Structure formats: structure tokens, C-alpha cells
């Protein structure tokens, strides 16, 4: 016998032949079961109700609701449902036939798992993790750190973030096989001034130590350096780029180094133990800092001016006489700074008097180093910059410095045909699968 009054409602479930519909919006929800109709409206924070009908027992209890606190419980026939919520904590559990569902929440933590769908999700504080077995999707997040991995058919993507540092997995589905399979040092370059810097140093290290490396040329005309596979290695999308799998840093992760000056420093620190092309900090601290000084001077002051002159003179497509004159004036000013330094006559120089210097850094007349290589790769092309013989004649010491470096066999190889894509088309990399 069922007693039904204004405050007691009739509620009936039959799962086999009945259809269930649920709609929820803000503080409102609505149920509809085939021949039976149930409507519930909730407003403000207080309610209480209770159901009892034949073989089905449904009990709902609510005691005091304020802000984030409430509690309720369900149980009927062969199906069991439990829900409990306190402050930021709640828990519920489903089990019926062959499906299992579990959900647990505490503070900023919750977990649920689907057995037949192979779905797992875990969350704690600012940390969460989930994994799809059939879709090969994995995601992991912790505080300011997150990691995710996609694998689907032939597609692989890896992303890692910690604080303001990004690390992309070395390989993507379009990474050329040569990149994936090459061991040791691998230089991705084109014979531009920045590319020539690294090419020259590698040739010098090869002459001194027998260093081996692999060279791959990047086709700038097709913007290969802007492809996803290259950006995964160097998000700046520029050459040169160095990949080192020799693990001299005692790590199992290959090293990728972008920016030509950074590559020069990495190579001498890692592969020049006798300090032929740099200075040891403990034995020559002053010269070590002077090397960094002239390395950064050219990269920050000289290179941008000459690069601007090169662009507006050769590649801008329009004649901008103001821009050409501005960059030319600044380039010549930088040449004059180098001329004064090589004269060894300034108090700020390494020598502060005496014979003219042969190289930028070192005792007396100096020692050939990566500071010279860094500047030479650009200054050697002065004739292409609309700089006349008469103008360059104002800098005799700089002219002699250029000639002195050009006489080195390794320098000739570093700027030679060995890095010319027309002479060696087999060195060109492509994400189309050719290489």
C-alpha cells in the first residue's frame, strides 16, 4: 500500500523496457520516464524528501545545507548508488551487470575508471593524469609542470613543460629519418654567415682532434626550417642547429643547441679539452671574460647592423636609401671599434699599448679563438655590403685580420664547397620522406 500525499511523490524505475531522460540547467533539473513523469525544482539551499514503494526503496535525507555542505544516499533493488559530499569532498560508486564505475573526490582530488572503455583519470591538487588505451592518449600534469603524449597510427607527439622552460621531444612523424637515425654530432645548417661560424669551428676541431660529425643542409627557399619537425628541435625556426647524442653531459637525452654563438661555446666547452679555441676559466679568467665580451659584442652590436645592411641591399625588393645608409654607417662604426681594438693602443684593450693585435682575445698579440670565428664569418662578406675598397681601406688592421684567418686551411673548408647544396644535393633534408 502506497500512501501518496502532496509532500510524498511516486517514483518508479524499470530498466529493461523504459527510457530515461535527464536535463540539468543551473539550479534546475528534470526527469522523464516513459509513462511516468517526475518533476523536481530546487531553489535556495534547503530541502528534504523520502520515497517508499513496493519492492523499491529510495531514501533521500538532507540535513542543513549552507555554502558547500550537503549529504544524500540512494539504494534500491539490485542497483546500489551512494553519494556523500562534505565541504570539498564527495564520493560515489556504480556497479551493475558488467559495467563498473568508481568516482572519488577529496579537496581538489578525484579519480574514476571505466573498465570496458579503458579510461582512467586521476587528479590531485594541480595534478591530473589520464590515459586512453584504445586511443593511445596519455596526459600528465603537475603544478606548473605538464606532459602529454599522443600516439595514433604513425603519429607521435611529446610535450614537456616545467616553469618557463619548454622541451619538445626530438622526433615527430615528419622528422626525416636521417635526423632520427644519426648518432653523435649532427649539424643542421646552410652556408649563411651564421652557418659558416659553426662549420669553421667543426673543421678546426676535426683538424685538432679528429672530431667526426654529420652535416645536413636545410633548404631555406622552401622554409624547411619552419616545418613542425624542425620547430620541435628549434622553436625559433632558424639555422644552424646542433644535435648531440654523444651524451658528454652524462645524460641519456640528446642535446639540441640553437643560436650560432651558443653552439660555438658548447663545442669548445665539450670538444676542445686543450683550449685551442677558447680560454679556461681557472687558468685564464680575464681572457675567458674577454672572449665572452667580444663574442657578445659582435652578436649584439655588429651582426644586427651588417645583417640589416645585407637585407636592404640584396633582399628587400625595394630601394630604401635611408635604411641602407643607416645600416652601412653603423656597420662601419663597428668595423672602427674592431680596428681600434686590434691597434692595441686603447687603455680598455687587453694590452693597452705595444704591437698591434693579430686576434681579438689573448695575451700580447692574441690567440685565435671562437671570438674571431664569430665575427669573421660575417665581416669576410664586406664586399657584398656596398662597402667600397676606399672605405675598407680605413681599417688596415681589420683587413689584415680577415686575410690572416682566411689563410687557415680549416677556415677554407668551413666556407667551401663541402657545404654547398648545389655541389652536394644529397645533404639536403626534406620532411617529404626523401631523406
What does the pLDDT average to over 198-227?
95
Please, which residues have CB within 8 angstroms of residue 203's CB and are 6 or more apart in sequence? 410, 411, 413, 414
Residue 321 pLDDT > 90: no
Q: Of 418, 288, 423, which Cα lies nearest the Cα of 361?
A: 288
Tell me the C-alpha distance between 52 and 11, whole Å.
Answer: 9
Residue 66 pLDDT > 70: no
Q: Confirm if 204 and 267 have CB atoms less than 8 A apart.
A: no
Q: What share of the chain in percent tops pLDDT 70? A: 56
What does the pLDDT average to over 361-365?
93
Tell me the C-alpha distance between 287 and 376, whole Å.
Answer: 19
Q: Of 263, 295, 108, which Cα lies nearest the Cα of 187?
A: 263
pLDDT of 274-285, one tens digit each?
999 999 887 889
Task: Please tell me whether residue 336 adopts helix, strand or coil conformation.
Answer: helix
Buried b (16+ CB within 10 A) or exposed e, 1-19: eeeeeeeeeebeeeeeeee
Tell me the C-alpha distance between 294 and 281, whole Å.
Answer: 16
Q: What share of the chain in percent tops pLDDT 90? A: 43
Question: Domain coordinates of the chain in residue numbers?
Answer: 40-87, 278-413
Report the length, in residues, of the chain.
435
Q: What is the pLDDT of residue 318?
A: 83
DSSP state of 69: B
Q: Look-up: residue for cell 654563438?
A: 261
252 forms beta bridges with none
Q: What is the pLDDT of residue 397?
A: 97
Buried b (16+ CB within 10 A) or exposed e, 278-316: bbeeeebeebbebbbebbebbbeebbebbbbbbebbeee
Task: Please tell me whether residue 216 adopts helix, strand or coil conformation.
Answer: strand
Lowest-pLDDT range of 33-37, 98-102, 165-169: 98-102
pTM of the model: 0.61
The 10 Å Cβ neighbour count of residue 415 is: 21
Q: Confirm if 217 and 421 have CB atoms less than 8 A apart.
A: yes
What does the pLDDT average to over 193-208?
97
Residue 380 pLDDT > 90: yes
Task: State the Cα torsion 229-232-236-237 to the nearest 10°.
Answer: -10
Buried b (16+ CB within 10 A) or exposed e, 168-203: bebbbeebbebbeebeebbbbbbbbbbbbbbbbbbb
Q: Look-up: residue for cell 612523424?
A: 173
Question: pLDDT band for position 429 (50/70/90)?
Answer: confident
Q: Of 185, 188, 187, which Cα lies nearest the Cα of 224?
A: 188
Tell me the C-alpha distance between 98 and 185, whole Å.
Answer: 55
Question: pLDDT band for position 353 (50/70/90)?
Answer: low
Q: What is the pLDDT of residue 157?
A: 36
Residue 158 pLDDT > 90: no
Q: What is the pLDDT of residue 358?
A: 97
Task: Please tell me whether residue 372 adopts helix, strand or coil conformation.
Answer: helix
Task: Please tell me whether residue 286 adopts helix, strand or coil conformation.
Answer: helix
Lowest-pLDDT range of 104-113, 333-342, 375-384: 104-113
- Report the relative pairing of strands 214-217 and 185-189 from DSSP bridges: parallel
165 forms beta bridges with 162
Q: Of 4, 400, 348, 420, which Cα lies nearest the Cα of 196?
A: 420
pLDDT of 332-346, one tens digit each?
999 999 999 999 887
Q: Which CATH class name applies to 278-413?
A: mainly alpha
6, 218, 230, 257, 429 from 236: Cα distances, Å: 71, 14, 9, 11, 18
Amino acid at each position: 500500500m502506497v500512501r501518496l500525499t502532496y509532500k510524498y511523490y511516486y517514483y518508479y524505475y524499470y530498466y529493461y523496457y523504459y527510457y530515461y531522460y535527464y536535463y540539468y540547467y543551473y539550479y534546475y533539473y528534470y526527469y522523464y520516464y516513459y509513462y511516468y513523469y517526475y518533476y523536481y525544482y530546487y531553489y535556495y539551499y534547503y530541502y528534504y524528501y523520502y520515497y517508499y514503494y513496493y519492492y523499491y526503496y529510495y531514501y533521500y535525507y538532507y540535513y542543513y545545507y549552507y555554502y558547500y555542505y550537503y549529504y544524500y544516499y540512494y539504494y534500491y533493488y539490485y542497483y546500489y548508488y551512494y553519494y556523500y559530499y562534505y565541504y570539498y569532498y564527495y564520493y560515489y560508486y556504480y556497479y551493475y551487470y558488467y559495467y563498473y564505475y568508481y568516482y572519488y573526490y577529496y579537496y581538489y582530488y578525484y579519480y574514476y575508471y571505466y573498465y570496458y572503455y579503458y579510461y582512467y583519470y586521476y587528479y590531485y591538487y594541480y595534478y591530473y593524469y589520464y590515459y586512453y588505451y584504445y586511443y593511445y592518449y596519455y596526459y600528465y600534469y603537475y603544478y606548473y609542470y605538464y606532459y602529454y603524449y599522443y600516439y595514433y597510427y604513425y603519429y607521435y607527439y611529446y610535450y614537456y613543460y616545467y616553469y618557463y622552460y619548454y622541451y619538445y621531444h626530438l622526433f615527430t612523424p615528419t622528422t626525416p629519418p636521417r635526423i632520427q637515425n644519426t648518432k653523435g654530432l649532427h649539424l643542421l645548417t646552410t652556408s649563411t654567415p651564421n652557418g659558416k661560424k659553426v662549420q669553421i669551428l667543426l673543421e678546426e676541431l676535426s683538424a685538432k682532434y679528429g672530431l667526426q660529425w654529420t652535416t645536413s643542409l636545410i633548404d631555406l627557399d622552401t622554409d624547411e626550417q619552419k616545418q613542425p619537425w624542425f620547430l620541435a628541435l628549434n622553436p625559433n625556426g632558424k639555422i644552424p642547429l646542433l644535435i648531440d647524442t654523444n651524451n658528454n653531459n652524462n645524460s641519456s637525452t640528446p642535446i639540441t643547441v640553437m643560436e650560432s654563438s651558443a653552439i660555438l661555446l658548447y663545442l669548445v666547452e665539450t670538444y676542445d679539452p686543450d683550449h685551442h679555441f677558447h680560454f679556461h676559466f681557472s687558468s685564464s679568467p680575464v681572457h675567458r671574460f674577454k672572449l665572452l665580451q667580444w663574442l657578445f659584442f659582435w652578436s649584439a652590436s655588429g651582426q644586427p647592423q651588417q645583417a640589416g645592411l645585407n637585407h636592404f641591399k640584396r633582399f628587400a625588393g625595394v630601394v630604401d636609401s635611408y635604411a641602407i645608409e643607416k645600416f652601412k654607417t653603423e656597420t662601419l662604426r663597428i668595423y672602427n671599434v674592431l680596428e681600434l681594438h686590434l691597434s692595441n693602443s686603447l687603455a680598455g684593450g687587453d694590452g693597452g699599448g705595444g704591437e698591434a693585435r693579430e686576434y681579438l682575445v689573448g695575451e700580447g698579440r692574441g690567440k685565435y679563438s671562437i671570438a674571431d670565428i664569430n665575427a669573421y664569418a660575417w665581416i669576410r662578406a664586406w664586399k657584398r655590403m656596398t662597402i667600397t675598397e676606399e672605405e675598407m681601406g680605413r681599417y688596415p688592421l681589420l683587413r689584415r685580420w680577415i686575410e690572416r684567418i682566411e689563410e687557415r686551411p680549416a677556415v677554407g673548408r668551413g666556407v667551401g664547397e663541402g657545404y654547398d647544396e648545389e655541389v652536394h644535393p644529397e645533404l639536403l633534408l626534406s620532411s617529404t620522406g626523401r631523406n
